[in-house]
Every structure is written in structure tokens, then in C-alpha cells.
Amino acid sequence: MNKSGSSWLKFGLFTVGLGQSFVFVIVPPLARELGLSEVQTSSIFAFSAIGWALTSAAWGRASDKYGRRNIAILGLLGYSASLIAMITPLFLVEKNFLDLVFLFPLLVFGRMLNGLLGSATRPASFAYVADTSSEDKRTVKFARLESSFLIGTVAGPLIGGFLILISKETPFYIFSILGIIASIGIYKNLENKSSIPSNNIKSSQKVSWTSNTVWPFLFIASISSLCLASLIQTIGFYLFDTFSSIDDLPVVISMTFALLSISTIVSQYIFTDAFPLSNNKLLIYGILLLSFSYTVMALYPKISVYYLAIIVNGLGGGLLRPAISSSLSLAQSPEHQGSVAGYLGSVYPIGHILTPVLAMPIYAYNPAYLYYFSSILCLICFIFIITNPVFKQK
């Protein structure tokens, strides 16, 4: 494996993590403060997620044909452009240079850039690692790639919180520039080719998401996506609604995101690197931890218990995500790596698509019911994992 090229891919995902977490932390309260509703705010991310779901598989196949490097760069440039397109209308409306009526469609457009183009980086990066890693190292390599993104999600609110002291726009511009730097580094250090001979490109496009070695992993990924997206998009609202007496709630929200990401990173390092577990055990233990965390959130609306549940949730997610990616990859032939990475990337946004229409109404009725709902979904996944033979083979 080209270590320099791999490092730049990790840095690229790190920069994406910076912007992703900061956007989720800062845009909802800013948008609500300027007059958008909770449903409108979550819909911004839902539209982007639809774009991501529709294009991710195509970008995975495109990386087979046009090379991992070119597609990864395209995704980073789309991500960088989306950050600028997101903050500009917020700034203009706040300064009364733009009428509020234009804010929602412009925010949708800005976030759609990330959904349509930014979706290219992840499948290209994971396909590159699949191309260049041995089967026995696949899980740990995927976990390290995931960790690069997660470290970015931890650093995003922290670095962004410092940069925002300069101006609200500064973090968006800085994170956008870092994305461009990452794309330049990838261009200079990553050889633009896949492991697939040109005469095999057609066969690489024939793998179907309905295959018995594909759809079970996509099912687990989509359910975990819905649970995570509903949690992420309601963290800010939940803390404001439930613990309004706490001072400096924006800091508390940032800490919550940081705890979630840090615990995920720690979990990935311990159980995929230091003391590796089989993918089957990672899947089972991960989904059970997630179910437990959501149940605790529902039963005990106390800030200390909530933090503990967030940490447990991160531990569960840290086990689950690399196990899904690795198991799916190992179940496929080499010429299908780009395609299945794209399929997996296309289902992760499902949670953000469904959250406004499914999770938000449940949250509005009773926040605890949303966490019970997520817990039940995780238990369904647990039963599916222990009864479907495809998971026992990995």
C-alpha cells in the first residue's frame, strides 16, 4: 500500500469530518434563530442525504472505471464548495442583505452539493483500501479509515468553536480550504488506478444490492443509520428542551458530539486493533450496546446518565461500522469492491432522509419514545444477525 497516498485519503476524510460535525452543531440553531422550523432544518439534511443515496453507488462504480484518486478528489471539492454555499446565505440573511424567504432553498442547494458530489470521497477511499489491503487486515484498515473521519468529527466543534470567535464564517472557510489541500495531496501522492483491468469493468458493474452477500449488510447499515441520524439531529433540541436550566448549552452540545466520537474511536482501536474481535462478534456486541444506550436515554432523563448513554452509544457504533464495511468487502470478489462500497455509502444517508418524516414526529410527541423506537430497531437487527447465516461466515 502507498502509505503516503493512504495518509492523504485519511486526511481527506478527517477534513470531511471537521465540516460534517460542525455543520450539524452550528447550522440547526443558527437556522432556527433566523426563523426556520425544526422540520425545515432537518429537511435541509434530508435533501442532501437523498442526493447522497442516489449518487454514492454510481461514484463507487465510477471509481472502478476512472480511478480511486479522481473520484476521491471530486468528492472533496464538492464538500469544500458545499461549506461555502451553506454559510453564505446564513451570513447574508443575518446581515439583512438577503430576504429570509431565500434562506431555506439556498441552504438546501448548499447542502445538496455535499450530497451529490461529496458522496464520491467515501466509496473511492474505502475501495482503494480494499484494493491494497489483505483480507486479515481489512477490518483494522477500514476501522482506521473510519477513525480518521471520526477524529475530524471530534475536532470539528472544538476547532470550529475557537475559529467562530473570529467570525461565524471563519470555520467554514478554513475547513473548506483544508478540503482543497487534501484533494491536492491526494492528486500528487495517489496513483490513479484501480486493481481492476479495463476489460473487467463491465463485470464490476453487475454486482447487485439484492445479492445474498450484499443486502443483509445494507439492511443493518440502514437501520443503524436511522438510529444514529435521529440521535444526531435531535441532540441539540433534546438538550435545549430537557436541560434548559444548564448554562452554556452550546458548549454542552459540542461536548456531547465529542464524547460520541471519542468513544467510537476508542472502541474501534481496542476491538479492531489492540484486542481484535471477529466481525461476527463486533456486529453482535455493537448492536446490543446501541440498544442498551437508547433504552437508558429513554428511561433516565438526567444529564449525567445521558452522557453515559452517549459514551455507550459511541462504543457500540465503533464496533458496528467497521464490521459492516469489512464483512461486506470480504464477501465480494476484488472487481466488485468499488460497487459495494458505493452501495454501502448509498444506504448510510437513509437515516437523514427518514428522520424528518419519521423520527422528528416521534420526538415532537415524546423524546423518550424516539429512543425506545431506536432500541427496538437495534434488537430487530440483533435477531437478524444471529439468524442470518451470511453473518456467521465473516
Side chain identity, residue 33? E
Asked if residue 201 belongs to a domain, the reply is no
pLDDT at position 194 is 58
C-alpha cell at 111: 447542502
Type and span of the H or E element at 291: helix 279-299
Asked if residue 200 belongs to a domain, the reply is no
Beta carbons of 342 and 316 less than 8 angstroms apart: no
pLDDT at position 337 is 78
Task: Determine the Cα–Cα distance for residues 277 and 261; give it in Å rounded to an integer.
Answer: 20
Closest CA to 221 of 332, 121, 341: 341
pTM of the model: 0.77
CATH of the domain at 80: 1.20.1250.20
Q: What is the dihedral of CA 214, 284, 366, 308, to 10 degrees?
A: -130
Task: Determine the Cα–Cα distance for residues 170 and 163; give it in Å rounded to an integer.
Answer: 6
168 phi/psi in degrees, rounded to 5: -65, -25
Asked if residue 202 belongs to a domain, the reply is no
Beta carbons of 17 and 152 less than 8 angstroms apart: yes
DSSP-derived secondary structure for 20-33: HHHHHHHHHHHHHH
Beta carbons of 48 and 115 less than 8 angstroms apart: yes
The pLDDT tens digits along the chain (394 residues) read 556 667 899 999 999 989 887 887 788 778 878 888 777 887 888 788 888 888 988 998 888 888 889 999 999 999 999 999 998 988 888 888 888 888 889 999 999 999 899 989 988 888 888 888 777 788 788 888 878 887 887 788 778 888 888 888 899 999 999 999 999 999 998 887 655 554 444 444 567 788 888 899 999 999 999 999 899 878 878 888 888 777 777 778 778 877 887 898 889 888 887 788 888 999 999 999 999 999 999 998 888 899 999 999 999 999 998 889 888 888 877 777 778 888 888 888 888 788 878 898 999 899 999 999 999 999 999 999 999 888 876 5
Task: Determine the Cα–Cα distance for residues 368 and 267; give it in Å rounded to an integer.
Answer: 26
Task: Determine the Cα–Cα distance for residues 9 and 189; give it in Å rounded to an integer.
Answer: 10
Side chain identity, residue 152? G
206: number of Cβ within 10 Å: 10
DSSP-derived secondary structure for 229-255: HHHHHHHHHHHHHH-TTSS-HHHHHHH
Asked if residue 186 belongs to a domain, the reply is yes
Asked if residue 195 belongs to a domain, the reply is no
Beta carbons of 371 and 298 less than 8 angstroms apart: yes
- Cα distances from 44 to residues 169, 183, 338, 358, in angstroms, run 19, 26, 28, 15
Beta carbons of 147 and 270 less than 8 angstroms apart: no
Largest CA distance in the chain: 64
**DSSP helix/strand/coil, 366:** coil
Asked if residue 203 belongs to a domain, the reply is no
Beta carbons of 370 and 226 less than 8 angstroms apart: no
C-alpha cell at 326: 469489512
Asked if residue 28 belongs to a domain, the reply is yes
pLDDT at position 100 is 85
- Domain hosting 132: range is 3-190+208-392
Residue with the three cell numbers 473520484: 71
**Tally of domains within the chain:** 1
Asked if residue 334 belongs to a domain, the reply is yes
**CA quadruple 118, 328, 356, 171: dihedral sign:** negative
Closest CA to 14 of 184, 182, 225, 221: 182
